[in-house]
Chain A
Amino acid sequence: MPEMTLIDAIRQAMDEELARDARVFIVGEDVGARGGVFRATLGLYAKYGAQRVVDSPLAEIGIVGVSIGAALYGLRPICEIQFADFIHPAFNQIVNEAAKMCYRSGGEWTVPLVIRAPYGGGISGGLYHSQSVEALFSHVPGLKVVIPSSPYDAKGLLKSAVRDPNPVLFLEPKKGYRLIRGEVPEGEYVVPIGPARISRPGTDLTALAYGMMHSYTLQAAETVATEGLQVEVVDLRTLYPVDKATLLQSVRKTGKALIVYEDNLTGGYGAEVAAILADEAFTDLDAPIKRLAGPDVPAVPFSAPLQDWFMPNPEKIAQAMRDLAAF
């Protein structure tokens, strides 16, 4: 099986979906001849033409709003928001329009739409090229929020997202675009939206993560394994609607939960996971639910020592695992 990077898997998914379904098209800033600022759409413009790989005006409301309209008319847009930090102008179209369309029309109108957005820090991107936005959108019924952490899942989940009849926010851990490599089968397969995945079995505690933090959490689990601590790692993959059953099953087994995310701590996605576990697995817990996350400052600062201070990393995660195991 060929090994490839996360971004190569994302590109391959889009390539295959463009070839499979004439209704699919890509729209975003610099996605055409430039192939996207991260090269996610490299070569697709030459292969499919300007009609299906569309350079948009530099305006995110238009990207999402136009895609909603095209989806209402029966097309299957994949829009790219260049950085998740720039998604906020389109919040109204995503939250008030795409997500509410099905409910507000009694099912008369639906919006099959994928919004891809690179997110996350650790790339010297400063406040406005590093943000994690998943918590803002994992609060919105009608929307699905997906974050892959491996090339295999990235391809399979993105193909599922393109075929999904609902609006799907597909957040890509950009730090991992070229750092994360993995085996990806040639050709057709999908990974369903919804289920989480136990990516490493263990017995002493459960670490729940997604995106780049999932990779770091696996590394941390390897480190503490050499010290005799067996951590079970859960890759959430779909944040909304969340796969409660898998989370609960794991935590009921280990009795301890550490949630790792790189967003600000307060009101972050981990708060919802903690609430679910406290609510439904209380009697199985033998330690407080712990969260390891970014500090509550507005966003990731640029300067290297400041960025390092903000970001969770394998060392910080390993220490949090040791602390929780020792409770």
Chain B
Amino acid sequence: MSPKESWPQDGQRAAQLKEGPPGPEPTPLEQAWAPSQLLEMFWYLLLSRRVDERAWILHRQGKIAFHISGMGHEATHIGMAFGIQRGYDWVIPYYRDLALMLALGLTPREFMLSLYGRRGEPSSGARQMPSHFGLRRANVVSTSAPVATQIPQAAGVAFAMKLKGDERIVLTTIGEGATSQGEWYEGMNWAAVHKLPLVCVVENNIYAISVPQDKQMALLDVADRAKGLGIPGRVVDGNDVFSVLEAMKQAVDRARRGGGPTLIEAKTYRPVPHSSDDDDRSYRSREEVEKWKKRDPLNSFQTLLLQRGTLTSEALAEFESRAKAQVEEAVSFAEQAPYPEPMKEGCGPVYAEEIRHAGDDAD
């Protein structure tokens, strides 16, 4: 049975993926977090969704050239963000990680600048397509489009942390398809050999654009790749914030105390096409997509917080209106922002000598 057919009905997987409404009592995992922290998580999950939805509309209106979505993955993103020390630990993400980036401090304004290709976009100065994230002030390394290139680099950052005796860890993320790349293996193998402080989260949404997991690998669980590396591999429900948080806590603690890297596979789904240029009707049924939409991570988290009383309907309305206001303000800010200029941002910096403060700063 293929992963696509077997999941989530498969016995083992059904146990890993939460179905239906939350139980009557808070679980120990929930109780580990203060109400204010839970509301912050919810805020970023909600904000990311509303920013993302607006981006799709802007594309359909012909106002932006491209959008690649993080929709459906947000619970995994929030679990990762709150599983590390934000602003202290380092992150090398991939293009789906919008909610992670917002939780790390990327603002809706900044994301809109990237969609519109305007000056001041912090990842690349609008040189790169949107969602090729990087945010120096939050220790988020610049990323590119060829998949898995970030993995050996993440191992290298972790290697440098270990050489310097720092207590930071590196979080890196990737899709399940990109684990087919040799770069993924080479980077993870380095981290395993040197017991580096690295956590690699595979956001498994079953599709690499159109190619399903069973054409990508002969494994049901990407986490099983960890066995060949000699490191722990964990499967978690990527649509459940608490499952991701729990796995992150173990992995981050292990990394920070010198225990080495962990591979976490977060099972999730992308309810929208790969990008604004994709049409997913050619490779998957509407029934499948609708089934997954019933497990929407925003709805699930919102239902849980409302049931627990952490979130009230008044507070929810306030969150929604704040998110809407921020998104609309960001759109109008970006629409009015200037474009970069060929003879300024176009020409460089190609070399570090062209930047202020570059060079031998520690001398």
- Which of A60-68, A172-180, A181-189, A313-321 forms part of the interface with chain B? A60-68
Contact B349 A66 (CB under 8 A): no
B134 touches which one: A74, A109, A165 (CB < 8 A)? A109
Contact B186 A57 (CB under 8 A): yes
How long is the Cα–Cα vector from A64 to B186 in the complex, in angstroms?
A: 11
How long is the Cα–Cα vector from A138 to B355 in the complex, in angstroms?
A: 22
Tell me how far the C-beta of B197 lies from the nearest C-beta in chain A, rounded to whole angstroms: 12
Contact A75 B360 (CB under 8 A): no
Known A70-B156, A73-B161, A108-B134: A65·B187 in contact at CB below 8 Å: yes
How long is the Cα–Cα vector from A70 to B186 in the complex, in angstroms?
A: 15
**For residue B151, which residue of chain A has the nearest CB?**
A65
Interface centre among A57, A65, A97, A141 (most CB of B within 10 A): A65
**For residue A60, which residue of chain B has the nearest CB?**
B186
Known A106-B124, A107-B355, A110-B352; 14 more pairs at CB < 8 Å: A61-B183, A62-B189, A65-B183, A68-B156, A69-B159, A73-B90, A73-B161, A92-B146, A92-B149, A102-B351, A106-B122, A107-B354, A109-B136, A109-B141
- Residue B345, interface by CB 8 Å: yes
Give the size of the chain A interface in residues (CB under 8 angstroms).
Answer: 45
Give the size of the chain B interface in residues (CB under 8 angstroms).
Answer: 49
**For residue B345, which residue of chain A has the nearest CB?**
A106
- Residue A142, interface by CB 8 Å: yes
B149 touches which one: A51, A97, A103, A110 (CB < 8 A)? A97
Tell me how far the C-beta of A25 lies from the nearest C-beta in chain B, rounded to whole angstroms: 7
- Residue A325, interface by CB 8 Å: no
Give chain A's interface residues, CB within 8 Å of chain B. 21, 23, 25, 51, 56-57, 59, 61-62, 64-75, 77, 89, 92-93, 96-97, 100-110, 112, 141-142, 144, 163, 165-166
Q: Mark B89-108, 1 if CB is under 8 A from A, else 0.
A: 01000000000000000000
Contact B351 A166 (CB under 8 A): yes
**For residue A64, which residue of chain B has the nearest CB?**
B152
B123 touches which one: A66, A105, A165, A166 (CB < 8 A)? A105
Contact B163 A25 (CB under 8 A): yes
A68 touches which one: B153, B158, B349 (CB < 8 A)? B153
Pairs of residues from A and B, 5 with the lowest C-beta to C-beta distance, nearest first? A69-B156, A65-B152, A106-B125, A165-B352, A73-B160
Interface centre among B128, B164, B183 (most CB of A within 10 A): B183
How long is the Cα–Cα vector from A89 to B152 in the complex, in angstroms?
A: 13
Contact B350 A59 (CB under 8 A): no
Contact B153 A69 (CB under 8 A): yes
- Residue B190, interface by CB 8 Å: yes
B144 touches which one: A23, A56, A66, A100 (CB < 8 A)? A100
Residues of B within 8 A of A89 (CB): 182
Contact B186 A59 (CB under 8 A): yes
A67 touches which one: B156, B163, B359 (CB < 8 A)? B156
Residues of B within 8 A of A77 (CB): 156
- Residue B154, interface by CB 8 Å: yes
Residues of A within 8 A of B163 (CB): 25, 51, 70, 75
Tell me how far the C-beta of B258 lies from the nearest C-beta in chain A, rounded to whole angstroms: 14
Residues of B within 8 A of A51 (CB): 163
- Residue B155, interface by CB 8 Å: yes
- Residue B1, interface by CB 8 Å: no
Interface centre among B124, B136, B159, B358 (most CB of A within 10 A): B159
Q: List 24 A-B contacts (CB under 8 A).
A: A59-B189, A62-B187, A65-B149, A66-B152, A66-B153, A67-B156, A70-B156, A72-B141, A74-B362, A92-B183, A93-B149, A93-B153, A97-B149, A102-B349, A102-B355, A103-B127, A103-B349, A104-B128, A106-B127, A107-B352, A107-B355, A107-B358, A165-B359, A166-B352
Residues of A within 8 A of B144 (CB): 96-97, 100, 104
- Residue B348, interface by CB 8 Å: yes
Residues of A within 8 A of B350 (CB): 102-103, 141-142
Q: Mark B219-245, 1 if CB is under 8 A from A, else 0.
A: 000000000000000000000000000
Residues of A within 8 A of B124 (CB): 104-106
Residues of A within 8 A of B189 (CB): 57, 59, 62
Residues of B within 8 A of A97 (CB): 144, 149, 153
Tell me how far the C-beta of B122 lies from the nearest C-beta in chain A, rounded to whole angstroms: 8
Known A102-B352, A141-B350, A165-B360: A65·B134 in contact at CB below 8 Å: no
Contact B190 A66 (CB under 8 A): yes
